[in-house]
Amino acid sequence: MAGGRRRRHHFGRIHAFSCGKASMKDEHSLIGGPGFSRKVYCNDPERAVASLLNYGDNYVRTTKYTWATFLPKSLFEQFRRAANFYFLVCAVLSFFPVSPYTGISNVVPLLVVIAATMVKEFIEDFRRKKQDIEMNNRKVKVHRGGGVFDYSKWRDLKVGDVVKVGKDEFFPADLILLASNYDDAICYVETMNLDGETNLKLKQALEGTSELQEDLNFQNFRAVIKCEDPNANLYAFVGSLELEDQQYPLAPQQLLLRDSKLRNTDFIYGVVIFTGNDTKVMQNATDPPSKRSKIEKRMDKIIYCLFVVLILISFIGSIFFGIATNDDLENGRMKRWYLRPDDTKIYYDPNKPVVAAILHFLTALMLYGYLIPISLYVSIEIVKILQSIFINQDMHMYYEETDKPAHARTSNLNEELGQVDTILSDKTGTLTCNSMEFIKCSIAGVAYGRGVTEVERALSRRQDSHSGQELKENNIAKIGESKSSIKGFNLKDERIMNGNWIKEPNANVIQNFLRLLAVCHTAIPEVDEETGKVSYEAESPDEAAFVIAARELGFEFYERTHTTISLRELHPMSGKKTERSYKLLNILEFSSARKRMSVIVRDEEDKLLLLSKGADSVMFERIAKNGRDFEEKTKQHISEYADSGLRTLILAYRELNEEEYNQFNKEFTEAKNLVSADQEQIVEEIIQNIEKDLILLGATAVEDKLQDGVPECIDKLAQAGIKLWVLTGDKMETAINIGFACSLLRQGMKQIIISSDTSENKSLEKMEDKSAAAVAIKSSVLRQLREAKTLLSTSDENFEALALIIDGKSLTYALEDDVKDLFLELAIGCASVICCRSSPKQKALVTRLVKMRTGSTTLAIGDGANDVGMLQEADIGIGISGVEGMQAVMSSDIAIAQFRFLERLLLVHGHWCYRRISSMICYFFYKNIAFGFTLFFFEMYASFSGQAAYNDWFLSLYNVFFTSLPVIALGVFDQDVSSKLCLKFPLLYQEGIQNILFSWKRIIGWALNGVVTSAIIFFFCIRTMEHQAFRKGGEVMELQVLGATMYTCVVWVVNCQMALSISYFTYIQHIFIWGSIIFWYIFLLAYGAIDPSFSTTAYKVFIEALAPAPSFWFITLLILIASLLPYFAYACIQMRFFPMYHQMIQWIRKDGQTNDPEYCNVVRQRSIRPTTVGTTARLEASKRFGIEGSKRFEIEAPRRLGASKRSEGKSEDR
C-alpha cells in the first residue's frame, strides 16, 4: 500500500556450523530394515509408482463422516443410546397387532427427534468438510519438468515431488529441505500449529543440495532418499540422501513438517517425503478424549431406573391381566363380557392366559413407554448449543487488547462449569502475563534498578500490618506508578540510564555485560524504514527483553547478516555511538537440560570471545577461580530477586585462543554431523569442554507480571469453595512468591515444603547404584509426607490453614502407586497446593489423581503446549489464548483470553448452566411421569386390558409439541439471581459443588410430584365425570371424553408447574408456556374436524362434548389447583424454614438489602467451607494474627528457607 509502513528484514545464520561429510553409522545402518523402508525418488515420482511404492495421495480428511457413511454411522450413533433404541423397537412393534396405538403415530415423533439430531451432526461435520476442502485445495508451486514450477493443489502432491514454498506459506506435506534463498541454505520455521511455540526454529539443508537456488537447477536434479517409515515423533528423523553417488545423512535439521509456516525466508525448495495421513502432524492427530458431564451420566442412570419401573409395572399389569383372563370364562359365564372371551383372539383367550399375559407384557412395554422422555436428548443438545452462544457473546469475557472473546469449543460440559471443586492452574502465561520486563540487574556486584514488583507489594503487605503499612504501600504505589512506555523494559536507575554507566567505577564490566546482552541471543531485528526504529522477533519474551534492555542502555543490535551481528555501541571514552560488527562463529543452543546458551564471536580486534548466559545452578560451577570477584554479592542479589518473584540469569564470558577454538570447532562440526544414538551426548561433552573458566559479569532480573485481576479472581473462587492448585515448571522460590502476590499464600499460613533438594539427597544422587539411590530418596519423600500428615492433623484441631509446596523430583515419587494416596490425602487437607518444577506429564498425572480419587469435578487451565496433557485429562480444560501459541486452546474445551474471566465463566455462566440443565432434566422426568402414570392408573381401572386412555396422536405429540418448548426456554433463559449477585455472593456456587439441585433427593422428589400429579388428575377426573352427562343427548362420559379431559388437565398442570418453577420470566417463556396450552386447544379443534377415519376418537369431541359443558372447564380449574397445591405448599415451607442459598439471596434482593452488610454476612455464614485463601482470607487473618509474621514449616533436612537460593530463569514453557 503506497505510503504505508514497510519493514526491511535482516536475517542470517543463527546456528553457524559446517555441514561437512557425515559419518554414516548406528541408526543409519537400520535404513532399509523394518521401520526404515521408505524409498523416495526425488523429482521422479512416477518412478515410485512404477516400483509399486504406493504411498498414497496428499488428501487429508478430518470429518467424522463421508457421504457414503453418514447415514449408517449417524444412525448407529443415535441408536447407541438406550432410550432411542427402545423407541426404535417400539416403532417396529407398533406395526403389529400387539401395539396399543397405530404405527404411524409412533414413528413420526421418533423420526422428528432423530432427524433433528442428525441435522445437527450434519451441519457440524459439513463445517469440518469445508475446512478440509479449503486446506486440500490450497496451491503450491511444483516442479513440472524442465526447470519449470507451476501451481498445483495440495491434494495432488505425490511423494518425490519437488515444491517451492514462499514466505509466510504453510508447508503442504512433510518435506526435506533442499535449498533456500540464503547462500547457506537456511530457513526459519514457525511451528505454532504443531507444538504451540511461537518462537522460530532454524532449519538448514545439506551442503550437497544447498546450491540449488534457482528453478532451472532442478531440470536434471535426481536423488534418492531412504528414510524411516511414517511415525508420530515430531522431533526425530533418520534417513539418508543419495546424490551423485554421494551419501548424506538426514536429520531433523532438514525436515520441514506439514502445517508449519515458512517465516523470514523468501522461498525454499523441498522434496515431499510424507503425504496426507502419513505426515507427522496427522500421525499425531488423535480424537480428543470424550468428556461427559456428571449430570449427563446421572441422567443415564435415571433413564435406566425408569426402564426398571417401566418393566416392573408392565410385569405387574401382565400378571393381573393373566389372572383376570384365566377367570374370564367359568361354566359358560363371562365376567368381562365386552371382551367376548367365548369368541376371542389369542390376546384375550381364557384358555391360554400365560400367552395372553406375555403378549400383554409387550403391549404394556409400548404403552408405558411415555415414562421415557423421547425428546430429552435432543432438547438438551439444543439448550447447550444456545448456552454456548451466550458464553461466546458475553462482552464481559471479551479481551479488547487481543480482540479475543470467550469461545466454547464444545457444548457438552456447560453444566459441569457449575460444579468445579478443584482448579489446577499453570503459572506462566496463565496467572502471569508471560510478558517479560527487564526491571533489575546486578553488574560487578552492584545492584541496579529501583522498580517495585507485584510480589514486593505483596511482601510488604504481609510484613507490615500496623500504621507503617499504609505509609510503605503509599510509597511503593508512587514508585510503581511510573510505568515504562517501552515494552519489555522497566529499569529505573539514573546511575545506569542515559549513558551514565560510563561514570561508574566498573564501567568496563558494565560494557562487557551490555555487549553480551546485545550479542548472545537468537533474535532477529526488524528495522522500520520510515522511522529507523528497530524491533525484535525473539524465541522467547525474556530474550526479547534482554535485547531491548541492551538497546536502551546504549548497545543497539540492528543487523544480522549471514555471518555477522552488528551493533551501535556507546563508546565509554567518547560517549558517542559507534558501529561495530562481530563475526558469528557458533551458537551453542539453549535446552532445558543445559539451562544455558553461548555464542562464539570474533570482534573487530580479532579477539575470540565466548559469551554465555544461563541459570545460576549451572553457571557458577563454570566460573574460573580468577573470575569470581563479585560472586558473593551477585548471589545475594539473585536471592533477593528470586524473593521478589523475578527470573534471573547469570552472565559470564571468556577469551579463547586460536588453537583452542580450532580444535573445538573441528570436534564440534564432526559431532554435529554424526548419525548415531549418542550424538547429542557427544556434542554436549564437547560443548562443556569449551564452556568453562568463565569470568562473572553479573545477573539479570526480569519480571513476569501477574495478569490483571488475578488476585481478585482467586479470592472470589476461594469464597465460592473452589480449591486452586498451581502446577508450574518454575523454581520453588519464584512460585512461592507468586503465591503470595496472588494471595494463595498469606500471613499466618504454615508452609509444608516437600523437597528433594537437600544435602542428603544430593549425596545419594552421586551414588553409582542409581536404583539404591532412588529407593533412598523415595523413603525420604515418604518420611516427609508422613510427618506433614501428622502436622495436618494437629492443624485441623487448631483450625490452622496449611500450604503444601512440593518440587518435581519429590512429586515423581509422590505419584507412585504406593504413595499417591498419602500425597493426595495431605494435599486435599491443605488450603493451597503448589507443585514446582513439574513436567507436562506430571501435570497430567496430578490432574488424573485428583479427578479419579476424589470423584469431584476438576478444571485445568493453561496456555502452553506443555499444558495439553493436563487440559485433556481434567473434566474441563480451559485454554488461555495468550502468547504461547494455540496448542492449549486447540486442546481445550473452552478458550478465554485472561485468567480473570474464569470468575465470570464459573460463578455466572457455570452456575446458570448447572441450575438450568438440572431443573430442565428434573422437569422433563416430572412431566413424563405425570403423563405416563395416568396411563397406568387407567389400565388399573380398565382391568389392564391394554386400552390406551388417549388418542394415538395425543400420545405422540405430548413430548414433541405441547410440553417441550417451555422446558427448552427454561434451559436457556432462567436465572435464579442476576449476574451481579452471582459475583457478589460467590457462595451461591456451592450449590453446584454440593450438587444440591440434581441430588437423588431432589430427583426422587420431582418423581413423587409426578406420581401425585398423575393420581390427582386421574382419580379426580374419574370420580367427577363418571356420571356426568355430556353432549346434547345427555350421554354419560365415554372414553374419548375422559381421555381428552385428562389430557387437557395434564397439559395445563405441567405447563403451570413450569411457570411456578421459573425464577426469571422473559416474554419468550410466556409465549412458550401459555402458547403451548393455547396450541393444544387449537390442535384439538383442528384435529377433531378431520375425517373420523383419521381423527378416530378425537372426532368433534371438543366442539360437541367438552366445550359446551361447564363441568369440563370447572373440572380443569379444580384439578389444576389441586395438582399444584402440594408443590406450592412444599415450596413455601421449604423457603420459610429451610431456604437454599439462592432463595436467601432472592429474599434480600426483594427486600432491597443486598447492600446491607449485616444481611450479606448472614448469607455468607452459610458457606460449607471457610475461606482460607485469597485477599478476603488474608484480611481476616491479619485481624486474627496481628503483626505475627508468616510461619514456614519445612519438612526436609536442616536448611534455612531464607538462605540464598539459586534462581533459574528460563521459562517453564521452553
> Which residues are part of the catalytic machinery?
426
Q: Residues, the chain, total?
A: 1214
List, as one string, the DSSP characters of 835-897: E-S--HHHHHHHHHHHHHHH-SEEEEEE-SGGGHHHHHHSSEEEEE-SSS-SHHHHT-SEEES
Query: Rounded to 5 degrees, what angle do the CA atoms 698, 703, 708 make?
Result: 175
CA distance 990 to 1083: 44
What distance in Å separates the CA atoms of residue 60 and residue 173, rounded to the nearest whole number?
Answer: 10
The Cα 500–Cα 340 span in angstroms is 115
In the three-class reduction of DSSP (H, G, I as helix; E, B as strand; rest coil), residue 33 is classed as coil
Distance between CA atoms of 176 and 1008, rounded to whole angstroms? 69
Query: What nine digits make up the cell of 696?
Result: 562473572
Give phi and psi for 396, each to the nearest 5.
-70, -15
The C-alpha cell at 729 is 515448571
* Closest C-alpha to 291, from 1000, 874, 813: 874
Q: Is 10 helix (H, G, I), strand (E, B) or coil?
A: coil
Residue 472: burial class (beta carbons within 10 Å; 0-12, 13-18, 19+): middle
Would you tell me how many other CB atoms lie within 10 Å of the CB of residue 85? 12
Rounded Cα gap, residues 1125 and 499, in angstroms = 85
Question: What is the DSSP-derived secondary structure letter of residue 260?
Answer: -
Burial of 965 (0-12, 13-18, 19+ CB in 10 A): buried
Cα dist. 799→714, 739, 804 in Å?
Answer: 21, 21, 16
- In the 3-class helix/strand/coil scheme, how is 291-347 assigned residue by residue? CCCHHHHHHHHHHHHHHHHHHHHHHHHHHHHHHHHHCCEECCEECCHHHCCCCCCHH
Full 3-state SS string of 1101-1118? HHHHHHCCCHHHHHHHHH
Stretch (H or E) spanning 646: strand 646-656
Cα 995 to Cα 416, 484, 903, 977, 1000: the distances in Å are 10, 48, 19, 18, 9
341, 381, 448: which is closest to 120 by C-alpha? 381
Per DSSP, 171 falls in state P
Query: How far apart are alpha carbons 430 and 902 in whole angstroms?
Result: 11
d(CA 499, CA 1122): 89
**Calpha distance 274→255 (Å, rounded):** 11
User: Count of alpha carbons within 13 Å of 1111, Cβ hemisphere only?
Assistant: 17
Beta strands 267-274 and 162-166, pairing class? antiparallel
The end-to-end CA distance of the chain, in Å, is 37
Q: What is the largest CA-CA distance in the chain?
A: 132
DSSP state letter for 707: P
Burial code (b: 16+ CB inside 10 Å, e: under 16) for 121-130 equals beeebeeebe
CA atoms of 206 and 24, how far apart (whole Å) = 14
